[in-house]
Amino acid sequence: MTTPGEVATWGGDLSQAIVRYVGHGESSYPRERPESVAQAFGPRSSGLVDDVRALLRETEECAADVDRTDAGDSFRAVRAAMVARHPELDDEAVRALAWAWSYGDR
What residues in the chain have per-residue pLDDT under 50? 1-8, 106
> pTM of the full predicted structure?
0.84
In this predicted model, what pLDDT tens digit does every residue of 9-20 receive, in sequence order? 557 899 999 999
| Domain segments of the chain as ranges | 11-104
- The secondary structure of the chain, three-state, reads CCCHHHHHHHHHHHHHHHHHHHCCCCCCCCCCCHHHHHHHHHHHHHHHHHHHHHHHHHHHHHHHHCCCCCHHHHHHHHHHHHHHHCCCCCHHHHHHHHHHHHHHCC
Q: What local confidence, expressed as pLDDT, does residue 9 receive? A: 53
